[in-house]
A and B are shown apart, each in its own frame.
Chain A
Amino acid sequence: MSIRERLSGNEATAIAMKQINPDVVAAFPITPSTEIPQYFSTFVANGEVDTEFVAVESEHSAMSATIGAEAAGARAMTATSANGLSLMWEMIYIASSLRLPIVMALVNRAVSGPLNIHNDHSDAMGVRDAGWIMLFSENNQEAYDNMLMAHKIAENKNVLLPLMVCQDGFITSHSIENIELESDEEVKKFIGTYKPEHYLLNDKEPIAVGPLDLQAFLFEHKAQQAEAMKNAKQVIKEVSEEFEKWTGRKYEFFEKYMLDDAEIAIVCMNSTAGTTKAVVNKLRENGIKAGLLKIRMYRPFPVDEVAEALSHLKAVAILDKADSLNGAGGALFEDVTSSMYVNKKQVPMVNYVYGIGGRDTTEAQIESVYEDLQKIASSGDIGNPYRYLGLRREEN
């Protein structure tokens, strides 16, 4: 029986961490994720968890301490945002290449500069090829649920990869909303005890972690990492199904909202998907066959499933909340269009960069995208595929 509550996204994440009760949490405060270690340190001080909380002096140290703890055989977690993640950069790759199933809460925020504390996805997109599993969350509920599933996915012996749970800074991290929580006992039962196969503090099996790895082996080790990421797909599917049996809340690689009979659709991630759902409802009332595909599992990317789900559409808009500044479209656009190409599916697709630096994404903006899609669907003319949504500029 779920517990009806109202919490912010940060509170929900901190409570998930309390219920997980990891061995070690190492974190350094940065807006808008600060509240997560702040609340968690209160749980530590009150004796509600028996976690070793390491108040480090930087995010580089936060990730380093987390790596050390996880390599020693502990379950370790952290939380950060934007420039905090940037400062972890070196250690982010080391965490995944050492195959350490660390779990991180990433509260998405624009990476400087110029300095901005608000939401976009430039932090997450900067580490999209770093070998971490990346799950995105529309709201506080999904941030909580993804966190409860995280360790079972990451620690699976066919995976052994770090995992980050993303949610939108301020928009969901600081918004109080309804949520269904599970009991401490049931969470504990679902997650289970962490029993690493190889770890530094095992005196029966002395091992080295992170030694030199040159021409002879690094290539093979990278291929193993890639294989583990592919394996994660099946594990995410199984864990999500098990989670649904327990809580009744269904999670797949992505959510299809009014998509199966849709003619035009938006693909996006995190909180914008919720606003898009409200717009889809309105358009459906007017007989417009609009739909939404909300990516939950961004890494690994569900290439074949996305291509299949979008193949029947007349026009699709992919919304990127980070500009790749490359003249070739945002990261999500590239992932989706590449998925279509390798699956030999041809659907007109356009890219919108939107919501940069916390620019509010309104229902009117989303509606304008569907209007554009209707024009593309009827004319077959894509025009410029690289577009902006909500950018303020002088009219020509």
Chain B
Amino acid sequence: MSNLIEIRWHGRGGQGAKTASLLLADAAFNTGKYIQGFPEYGPERMGAPITAYNRISDEPITIHSNIYEPDYVVVVDDTLLKSVPVTAGLKDNGAIVINTTKSPEYLKETLNGYKGKIFTIDAKKISEEALGKYFPNTPMLAAIVKVTGIMSDEAFIEDMKASFKHKFAKKPEVIDGNMKALELSLKEVKQIQ
């Protein structure tokens, strides 16, 4: 299965990493892909480290294990960098996307010499600007779509519009803010050198 993309999410309980992984699965599904989206259920509680996974492929996916050698890693909370081995098994030709404002030097050091691409995004700033509140999962979703290139920005935005309409049917006032967060994030995710 050469076209299989495997993604691992690291976040803290309550930040929406699981929801983001399910939204990513949804978006990829809508472009005709085979998908898996599943969290690793541990003793997760608000604030505790959690892991979620995505597999995306052009062919049916039969593997039912966690992901040990991901192509991409998303870190929703940079306080995890020092306590969780986020780059474990991450492929050198892959990438890691981190919600952070820390310096490139700090990140390189903390990631134990990870040789692949490192992308950062200030999800807090974007979220507060677009939503007035800190929900990092929407920016991180857009960031990983951008970095993986699993679909075009336009297709992603169109799909999320429909998705949010459904998801936030009972609170339509948050749809515009979330869409704005996605659009800003697509622009602001940057690779560090």
What residues make up the interface of A, taking CB atoms closer than 8 Å to B? 6, 32, 117-118, 138-139, 168, 170-172, 174-178, 271-272, 274-275, 277-278, 281, 360-363
Q: Whole-angstrom distance between the alpha carbons of A363 and B29 in the complex? A: 25
Select from chain B the residue with minimum beta-carbon distance to A276: B62
Rounded to whole Å, the gap between the CB of B32 and the closest CB of chain A is 9
Contacts of A275 in B (CB 8 A): 62-65
- Residues on the A chain within 8 Å of B61, using CB: 177
Give the chain A neighbours of B25 by CB distance below 8 A.
6, 176
B62 touches A174 (CB 8 A): no
Other than the known A138-B62, A175-B37, what 18 A-B pairs have Cβ atoms closer than 8 Å? A117-B41, A170-B38, A170-B41, A172-B64, A175-B38, A176-B35, A176-B38, A177-B34, A177-B36, A178-B34, A178-B35, A275-B62, A277-B62, A278-B1, A278-B63, A360-B66, A362-B65, A363-B65
Residues on B lying within 8 angstroms of A by beta carbon are 1, 22, 25-26, 29, 34-39, 41, 60-66, 68
Q: Indicate whether A139 sits within 8 Å of B64 (C-beta atoms), given known contacts A6-B25, A170-B41.
A: yes
- Residues of A within 8 Å of B26, CB to CB, are 6, 176
> Measured between C-beta atoms, what is the minimum distance from A86 to chain B in Å?
21
A118-B41, A278-B1 known; A176-B64 Cβ under 8 A: no
Closest to A178 in B: B34
B63 neighbours in A (Cβ, 8 Å): 274-275, 278, 363
Q: Is the CB of A274 within 8 A of B35?
A: no
A175–B36 CB distance below 8 A? yes
Decide: A168 near B22, CB < 8 A? Known: A118-B41, A175-B36, A177-B35.
no
Docked pose: A339 CA to B106 CA in angstroms: 62
Beta-carbon nearest neighbor of A175 in chain B: B38
Q: How far in angstroms is the closest Cβ of chain A from B45?
A: 14
Q: How far is the CB of A173 from chain B (nearest CB, A)?
A: 10
Complex Cα–Cα for A275 and B62 (A):
6
Closest to B32 in A: A4
- What chain A residues lie within 8 Å of B22 (beta carbons)? 176
Contact across chains for A274 and B64 when beta carbons are under 8 A apart = yes
With A and B bound together, what is the CA distance between A275 and B65 in angstroms?
7
Q: In the complex, A275→B68 CA distance in Å?
A: 14
User: B64 to A171, Cβ gap below 8 A?
Assistant: yes
Assess whether B34 is in contact with A168, with CB atoms less than 8 Å apart: no
Please give the distance in Å from A269's CB to the nearest CB on chain B: 12
Asked if A278 contacts B62 (CB within 8 A), the reply is yes
Which of A32, A178, A271 gathers most chain B CB within 10 Å?
A178
Pairwise interchain contact B64-A271, C-beta atoms closer than 8 A? yes
Measured CA separation A139–B25 after assembly (Å) = 17
Contact of A174 among B35, B38, B60, B68 (CB under 8 A): B38
Q: A6 near B64 (CB under 8 angstroms)? A: no
A-B contact pairs, 10 of them (CB 8 A): A117-B41, A139-B64, A171-B64, A172-B64, A175-B64, A178-B60, A274-B62, A274-B63, A275-B64, A362-B68
CB-CB nearest in chain B for A171: B64
User: Which residues from chain B contact A171 at a C-beta distance below 8 Å?
Assistant: 38, 64
- Chain A nearest Cβ from B80, distance in angstroms: 20
CA distance A174 to B64 in the complex (A): 12
**CB-CB nearest in chain B for A32:** B41
A188 to chain B, nearest CB (A): 26
Query: Which B residues are in CB contact (< 8 Å) with A6?
Result: 25-26, 29, 35
Chain A's nearest CB lies how many Å from the CB of B115?
A: 23
When chains A and B are docked, how far (Å) is the Cα of A281 from the Cα of B60?
13
Distance A74 CA – B26 CA, assembled complex (angstroms) = 38
B26, B29, B60, B64 pick with most chain A CB within 10 angstroms: B64
Minimum CB–CB distance from A14 to chain B (whole Å) comes to 17
Residues from chain A with Cβ under 8 Å of B62 in the complex = 138-139, 274-275, 277-278
Q: How far is the CA of A6 from the CA of B63 in the complex (A)?
A: 16
Which residues on the A side are within 8 Å of B41 (C-beta)? 32, 117-118, 170, 174
Set of chain B residues within 8 Å of A178, measured between Cβ atoms: 29, 34-35, 60
On whether the beta carbons of B36 and A176 are closer than 8 Å, the reply is yes
Shortest Cβ distance from residue B31 to the other chain A in the assembled complex, whole angstroms: 12
Report Cα–Cα, A138/B62, bound state, in Å.
9
Residue of A nearest to B29 (CB): A6
**In the complex, which residues of chain A have a beta carbon less than 8 angstroms from the beta carbon of B29?**
6, 178
- The distance from the CB of B69 to the nearest CB of chain A, in whole angstroms, is 10
Residue of A nearest to B61 (CB): A177
Q: How far is the CA of A335 from the CA of B16 in the complex (A)?
A: 45
B73 CB to closest chain A CB (Å) equals 18
**B149 nearest CB across to chain A (Å):** 21
Q: Closest residue of chain B to A277, judged by CB?
A: B62
| Distance A360 CA – B41 CA, assembled complex (angstroms) | 11
Q: Which 8 pairs from chain A and chain B are nearest by CB?
A: A274-B62, A175-B38, A271-B64, A176-B37, A6-B29, A277-B62, A278-B63, A274-B64
In the assembly, what is the distance between CA of A177 and CA of B37, in Å? 7
Alpha-carbon gap, A6 to B38, bound state (A) = 12
Quote the shortest CB–CB distance from A392 to chain B (angstroms).
Answer: 16
State A174–B25 Cα separation when bound (angstroms). Answer: 13
Chain B nearest Cβ from A275, distance in angstroms: 5
